[in-house]
């Protein structure tokens, strides 16, 4: 059966709305046009949160196109590999320095490097730890798409950066364990940005809570993110209105 022009136009509009937003300005526009999301943003503003900061976090979690997300993931993996390679080189160089200094001291060449090998080894160990933390974080990243919307209960972020979800949720909760109401607020904002046409906020909120709990159970930097969210929440709420843009 041939579709009417009205049906075709509606389908095209729906497709466009479901495309990933590529700028914060686009994300803001969608939030402002969504009654529930805009109301949620106003509630957060009344609680002392900066609207632009919240919008930027939501965009960081679910904004951007799939192409942008894949490019970012590739860059993050490349940096982690660089960290690992540099750590290996530092360990090798530290051992070489020890050997050279031992020979120089034995033959009294006057070449010393007091504490340098130890510092190099310490730096290498710290790089290994950062690389390991990054690897765990990268495991939480999922590149979304149309099919994933069904599997993730009505939301398909182009890159599931769960560490941002953790930070955002705990930020809104003031550093405390987020309630289901907090996750509903997050769902309102995310659904608007991702362009869900008929979002199930309860399912989305439940899914977000599970994602956060799963991340915290397996991520070594979970407590750091929570502490940062608590400090930032206190700071944001203490800023006088006259200083807000």
Given this model, what pLDDT does residue 67 score?
A: 67
Give the residue carrying structure tokens 């919307």: 149
Task: Please tell me the number of Cα atoms within 13 Å of 175 on its side-chain side.
Answer: 13
Taking Cα atoms as reference points, which of 182, 152, 151 lies closest to residue 166? Answer: 182
Taking each helix axis from N to C end, the angle separating 162-172 and 180-194, rounded to the nearest 10 degrees, works out to 130
Q: Tell me: pLDDT of 150 over 50.
A: no
Q: What is the pLDDT of residue 205?
A: 95
Containing H/E element for 107? none
Residue 156 in tokens:
């398909």
Task: State the pLDDT at residue 237.
Answer: 63
Judged on CB neighbours under 10 Å (0-12, 13-18, 19+), 113 is middle
Q: Does position 146 have pLDDT exceeding 70, yes or no?
A: no
Residue 17: its pLDDT value, please?
43
Region 48-68: mean pLDDT is 80
How far is it, in rounded angstroms, from Cα 223 to Cα 216?
A: 8
DSSP secondary structure letter of residue 243: G
Nearest to 172, CA basis, from 52, 39, 49, 57: 49
Q: Which of 49, 26, 65 has the alpha carbon at shortest distance from 169?
A: 49
Q: What confidence tens digit (pLDDT) does each residue in 175-217 have? A: 899 999 999 999 999 999 888 888 999 999 999 999 899 888 8
pLDDT 10s digits, 7-49: 444 444 443 444 556 677 888 899 999 999 999 999 999 988 8
Least confident of 37-46, 51-60, 80-89, 135-144: 135-144
pLDDT at site 147: 40
Please report how many Cα atoms fall inside a 13 Å half-sphere around the Cα of residue 9, on the Cβ side.
3
Residue among 57, 73, 216, 56 at smallest CA distance from 144: 73
pLDDT at 23: 78
**CA dist., res. 62 & res. 116, Å (int):** 44
The yes-or-no verdict on residue 120 having pLDDT over 90 is yes
pTM over 0.75: no
Residue 27 near residue 193 (C-beta atoms within 8 A): yes
* Nearest of 48, 7, 75, 39 to residue 192 by alpha carbon: 39
Q: Are 139 and 220 in contact (CB under 8 A)?
A: no
């Amino acid at each position: 059966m041939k579709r009417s022009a009205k049906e075709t136009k509606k389908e095209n509009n729906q497709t466009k709305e479901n495309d990933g937003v590529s700028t914060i300005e686009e994300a803001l526009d969608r939030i402002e046009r969504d009654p529930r999301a805009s109301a949620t943003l106003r509630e957060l503003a009344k609680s002392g949160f900066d609207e632009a900061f919240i919008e930027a976090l939501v965009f960081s979690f679910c904004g951007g196109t799939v192409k942008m997300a894949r490019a970012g993931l590739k860059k993050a993996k490349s940096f982690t590999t660089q960290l690992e390679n540099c750590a290996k080189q530092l360990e090798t160089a530290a051992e070489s320095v020890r050997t050279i200094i031992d020979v120089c001291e034995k033959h009294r060449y006057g070449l010393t490097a007091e504490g340098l090998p130890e510092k190099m080894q310490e730096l290498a160990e710290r790089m290994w730890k950062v690389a390991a933390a990054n690897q765990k974080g990268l495991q939480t990243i999922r590149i979304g798409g149309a099919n994933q919307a069904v599997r993730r209960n009505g939301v398909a972020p182009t890159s599931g950066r769960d560490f941002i979800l953790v930070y955002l949720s705990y930020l809104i909760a003031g550093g405390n364990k987020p309630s289901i109401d907090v996750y509903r607020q997050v769902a309102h904002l995310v659904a608007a940005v991702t362009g869900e046409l008929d979002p199930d906020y309860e399912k989305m909120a439940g899914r977000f809570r599970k994602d956060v709990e799963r991340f915290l159970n397996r991520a070594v930097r979970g407590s750091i993110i929570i502490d940062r969210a608590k400090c930032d929440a206190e700071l944001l709420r203490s800023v006088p209105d006259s200083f807000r843009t």
